Amino acid sequence: MRSVSIIGIACTKFGERWDVSLRDMIAEAGVMAIEDAKITGDQIEALFVGNMSGGRFVEQEHIGALIADCAGLSRLHIPSTRVEAACASGGLALRQGVLAVASGYHDIVIAAGVEKMTDVSSGTAADALASAADREWECFFGATFPALYAMMAKLHMRRFGTTHDQMAQVAVKNHHHASFNPVAQYHMEVTIEDVDKSPMVADPLHVLDCSPISDGAAAVVLVPTETAKRFADTPIRIVASAQASDTLALHDRRDLTTLDATVHAARQAFAQAKIEPRQVDVAEVHDCFTIAEILAIEDLGFVEKGQGGPATEEGMTALGSLLPINTSGGLKACGHPVGATGIKQAYEIALQLRGEAGRRQVDEAEIGLTHNVGGSGGTALVHILSR
Amino acid sequence: MASGIVSYGVYIPRYRIRVDEIARVWGDGDEISESLRVFEKSVPDLDEDAVTIAVEAARNALQRCGANPDRIGAIYVGSESHPYAVKPTGTIVGEAICTSSDFTAADFEFACKAGTAAVQACLGLVSSKLIDLGLAIGADVSQGAPGDMLEYTAAAGGAAYLIGREDLAAEIEAFYSFTTDTPDFWRREGMPYPEHGGRFTGEPAYFKHVVSAAKGLMKKIGTTPDDYDYAVFHQPNGKFPVRVAKMLGFSTKQIEAGLVVPMIGNTYSASCLIGLAATLDVAKPGDRIFVTSFGSGAGSDAFSITVKEKIDEIRCAAPSVRDYIGDAEYLDYAMYAKHKGKLKV
């Protein structure tokens, strides 16, 4: 297998993009990534795009052919594949791109992600997202994603003494980080009091504990590491790409306070990269809800199980500390266009490792990690990137 | 020759329901009224509709200046709750205020800005001397589906403006409109309640159109917010007009006099026309007023107005907006539901 590197990255503005369509956004991200990689469209050999539910959100399926067409590449007749793993669709597209290059099948591949979520009512969006849970055994009985994560939060609070203030601190931190990120959906800071006072969604999760509904797209260009220097001054190596699955329904899990898919993907990824969690300088983790970031930093091995709350409260995961988590603002404040999130995470880490993250730059970042989760943990992807 | 407002009159039904009372029924909590900055809204009586409200407002306008109704050459009524789908509101108003039959009439619909569109149409006919006086009215008994966010604000009220060339209480120096096809809010034929695009009604609809029209007018005539003593913006809730004023560089003090939505709710086609009336109720000769309406669908009309000496003569001859606001009788949700025809038997 060949080593794979990222030579081009792009991310559109995330948010309520009422002035553009899904195809506008994916074309924008694709063109910016190609320009960043200093390649031409004719050099692209394959496309992979993560998209969770174009069918529900914009009544458009067959996104693979669509993006090749929008990018002006239809005349090349290259393979273009849409992949789906709910909110982990972007991470899955990245992994498919990595495998395509690593295997030697292709030399220049684009991995992208896109979601256009604000063209439908919030009720329709919530129902489309609920299709990432077990429709027959969870949704039909009234569960929504906030409700499922609220159950995880409740048990975590009971078992480990985690407090809502500790969860709220995730939102406070990520909104602060997002205030430095030009592509983030939100640039406003929030306080623990703001989170507490925001309307309750599913006890103990308030509105400001939840990631928003967003539009956005992101893309990265992948090549074999052996040729990467020809294209980029600072190519970013993908030193690990791991994926794991688990039961779709939360109630079938071994433990409600651990995402085993994350644990297994992380274990594989650290073995591939031959590093320890403590060697990671910066990470983008899947904070679809504030409790999810606390679970993530535990399951990835950054802190002991049960210590995610206190670690967050003590500021260990904030910019300027030992392990800055979600410098982009995370799903919480950068926004969560579900299919794009996994690629945006790779964009953010590549930006950090290149030293181009501006006011949110992590000093001397050498190794970064991305963690993308589908549903309540039925799928998890972990990628480790290195300068 | 200058054209503008010869007289104005408003009407707001006496009945009110508190937003907290609606929130009590739907379990939305006390924070709704604070988040909307609307605390109560007007409710029509059982037999009140856009026609009766338009007539009351028109009578007040005529009473205020004492003009002979026979001088009126056009009656345009803007509403999104005309009682008839086919059969004009304007003809009923004309009959009720005893005009001759020597006038043209039509009903306008442009969501919440049909009233200012009627003002513009009258200005055209008056300025070109095709008619002597035009009567422009915005009147609504607006609809909000039970449990929908609109129910907290959808209110009832009307404002009538006599537009002419002589004896002006206020001159309309210029207007500018900004219009696009933006589906943020609509009601299909035969449907009892409107639908809306949630948060889409904000940035790409209200704010884009109000800001574009307001900036367009100030650019056209070379004015800035500092040139105005008062400003009135369409008031779908208590937050939007305050925010848009700030975005454009108007102060809270400039919009205070015309900000009536916290006490009466959103009167739709009458909303910014009642806000303008409340401002005329207190403005002094020489004061300048900046007005921008918004109608979903979507468009905004911006007006630059200067108050004339005549205002002091006519102001007290008809009830003021504050007179109507002060005369309130409160309903519980059950009586409100009956008044609004939400109970079907």
Mean pLDDT in order along chain A per 10 residues (387 residues): 97 96 96 96 97 95 94 93 98 98 98 96 91 94 94 98 98 98 98 94 97 98 97 96 98 97 98 98 98 98 98 97 96 98 98 97 97 97 97
From the DSSP assignment, how many helices (H) and strands (E) are in chain B?
13, 14
Whether B200 and A19 lie within 8 Å, measured CB to CB: no
Which chain B residue lies closest to A19 (C-alpha atoms)?
B204
- In chain A, CATH 3.40.47.10 covers 4-121+214-236, 142-211+237-386
What is the C-alpha separation between B75 and B91, in angstroms, rounded? 8
Q: Which residues of B touch A121 (CB under 8 A)?
A: 197-198
Whose tokens are 């409200």? That residue is B53
Whether A118 and B204 lie within 8 Å, measured CB to CB: no
Count of A-B CB contacts under 8 Å: 14
Of B82, B196, B234, B339, the catalytic one is B234
B198 has a chain A CB within 8 A of its CB: yes
SS (H, E, C) chain A: CCCEEEEEEEECCCECCCCCCHHHHHHHHHHHHHHHHCCCHHHCCEEEEECCCHHHHCCCCCHHHHHHHHCCCHHHCCCEEEECECECHHHHHHHHHHHHHHCCCCCCEEEEEEEECCCCCHHHHHHHHHCCCCCCCCHHHCCCHHHHHHHHHHHHHHHHCCCHHHHHHHHHHHHHHHCCCCCCCCCCCCCHHHHHHCCEEECCEEHHHECCCCEEEEEEEEEEHHHHHHHCCCCEEEEEEEEEECCCCHHHCCCCCCCHHHHHHHHHHHHHHCCCHHHCCEEECCCCEHHHHHHHHHHCCCCCCCCHHHHHHCCCCCCCCCCCECCCCHHHHHCCCHHHHHHHHHHHHHHHHHCCCHHHCCCCCCEEEEEEEECCCCEEEEEEEEC
Rg, Å, chain B Cα set = 18
Tokens of B61: 């306008």
ipTM over cut 0.90: no
- Of A6, A306, A359, the closest CA to residue A156 belongs to A306
Tokens of A56: 């529900």
CA-based nearest distance B26→chain A, Å = 15
What is the C-alpha separation between A22 and A25, in angstroms, rounded? 5
Res B308: pLDDT = 98
Q: Which residues of A touch B198 (CB under 8 A)?
A: 121-122
Of B65, B112, B122, B272, the catalytic one is B112
Burial of A233 (0-12, 13-18, 19+ CB in 10 A): exposed
- Of A134, A141, A112, the closest CA to residue A54 belongs to A112
What is the C-alpha separation between A172 and A189, in angstroms, rounded? 7
Which chain A residue lies closest to B29 (C-alpha atoms)?
A199
Other CB atoms within 10 Å distance of the CB of residue B327:
12
Whether A18 and B198 lie within 8 Å, measured CB to CB: no
Rounded to the nearest 10 degrees, the angle between the axes of helix A145-160 and helix A290-299 is 60
- Of B232, B168, B164, B159, the closest CA to residue B9 belongs to B159
B183 has a chain A CB within 8 A of its CB: no
Identify from B34, B196, B203, B212 which residue to disrupt to test chain A contact, counting A C-beta atoms within 10 A and taking the largest count. Answer: B203
Q: What is the pLDDT confidence band of residue B248, given thresholds at 50, 70 and 90?
A: very high
CA-based nearest distance B195→chain A, Å = 11
Count of positions (residues) in chain A: 387
Of residues B29, B31, B199, nearest to A16 (C-beta): B199
Res A183: pLDDT = 98
Of residues A18, A122, A199, nearest to B204 (C-beta): A18
Which three-class secondary structure state does DSSP give residue B214? helix
Instruction: Tell me how many degrees the CA angle B271-B276-B280 measures, rounded to the nearest 5.
Output: 150
Active-site residues of A, by number, are 87, 336
Q: What is the pLDDT confidence band of residue B73, given thresholds at 50, 70 and 90?
A: very high
Q: What is the pLDDT confidence band of residue B198, given thresholds at 50, 70 and 90?
A: confident
CA-based nearest distance B177→chain A, Å = 21
Which chain A residue lies closest to B198 (C-alpha atoms)?
A121
- The residues, ordered by sequence, that sit 6+ positions from B325 with a Cβ below 8 Å of its Cβ are B12, B260, B263, B264
- Under 8 Å between Cβ of A83 and A49: yes
- The residues, ordered by sequence, that sit 6+ positions from B84 with a Cβ below 8 Å of its Cβ are none
Report the predicted TM-score, pTM, of the whole model to 2 decimal places.
0.85
CA-based nearest distance A287→chain B, Å = 24
For chain B, which domains are there? 4-169+312-339 (3.40.47.10), 172-309 (3.40.47.10)
Whether A121 and B198 lie within 8 Å, measured CB to CB: yes
The greatest distance separating any two alpha carbons of chain B, rounded to the nearest whole angstrom, comes to: 58
- The residues, ordered by sequence, that sit 6+ positions from B160 with a Cβ below 8 Å of its Cβ are B8, B9, B10, B54, B57, B58, B60, B61, B135, B136, B137
pLDDT digits (tens, 9 = 90+) for B114-126: 999 999 999 999 9
Whether B203 and A199 lie within 8 Å, measured CB to CB: no
CA-based nearest distance A125→chain B, Å = 13
- Of B40, B36, B79, B37, the closest CA to residue B57 belongs to B79
CA distances in angstroms from B331 to A250, B19, B65, B67, listed in the order given:
48, 11, 34, 37
Whether B203 and A16 lie within 8 Å, measured CB to CB: yes
Residue A53, CB half-sphere, CA atoms under 13 Å: how many? 21
b/e sequence B71-92, b meaning 16+ C-beta within 10 Å? bbbbbbbbbbbbeeeeebbbbb
CA-based nearest distance A18→chain B, Å = 7
Q: Which residues of A touch B181 (CB under 8 A)?
A: none
Of residues B31, B198, B203, nearest to A122 (C-beta): B198
CA-based nearest distance B185→chain A, Å = 13
What is the C-alpha separation between A14 and A23, in angstroms, rounded? 15
Which fold does the domain A4-121+214-236 belong to in CATH? Answer: Peroxisomal Thiolase; Chain A, domain 1 (3.40.47)
Whose tokens are 């020597």? That residue is B102
Whose tokens are 């949630």? That residue is B198
- The residues, ordered by sequence, that sit 6+ positions from B319 with a Cβ below 8 Å of its Cβ are B10, B60
Q: Containing H/E element for B77?
A: strand B72-78
Q: Containing H/E element for B306?
A: strand B297-307
pLDDT digits (tens, 9 = 90+) for B22-69: 999 998 877 899 999 999 999 999 999 999 999 999 999 999 999 999
Of B80, B122, B209, B272, the catalytic one is B80
Whether B200 and A118 lie within 8 Å, measured CB to CB: yes
Res A114: pLDDT = 98
Whether B200 and A122 lie within 8 Å, measured CB to CB: no
How does strand B72-78 pair with strand B329-330? unpaired
Is 80 exceeded by the pLDDT of residue B1?
A: no
Which chain A residue lies closest to B196 (C-alpha atoms)?
A121
Question: Which amino acid is present at A328?
Answer: S
Which chain A residue lies closest to B32 (C-alpha atoms)?
A199
Tokens of A271: 């073995």
User: Does the A142-211+237-386 domain belong in CATH 3.40.50.300?
Assistant: no
CA distances in angstroms from A114 to A24, A87, A212, A242, B237, listed in the order given:
10, 11, 15, 21, 34
Rounded to the nearest 10 degrees, the angle between the axes of helix B271-280 and helix B114-127 is 60
Is 70 exceeded by the pLDDT of residue B130?
A: yes
CA distances in angstroms from A176 to A58, A172, A318, A326, listed in the order given:
32, 6, 9, 10
pLDDT digits (tens, 9 = 90+) for B148-171: 999 999 999 999 999 999 999 999
SS (H, E, C) B5-66: EEEEEEECCCEEEEHHHHHHHHCCCCHHHHHHCCCEEEECCCCCCHHHHHHHHHHHHHHHHC
Whether B203 and A18 lie within 8 Å, measured CB to CB: yes
- Under 8 Å between Cβ of B91 and B154: no
Q: Which residues of B touch A199 (CB under 8 A)?
A: 29, 31
Which chain B residue lies closest to A18 (C-alpha atoms)?
B204
Catalytic residue status for B272: no
Tokens of B68: 């002979």
Q: Is the peptide bond before B298 cis (omega within 30 degrees of 0)?
A: yes
B204 has a chain A CB within 8 A of its CB: yes
Which chain B residue lies closest to A199 (C-alpha atoms)?
B31
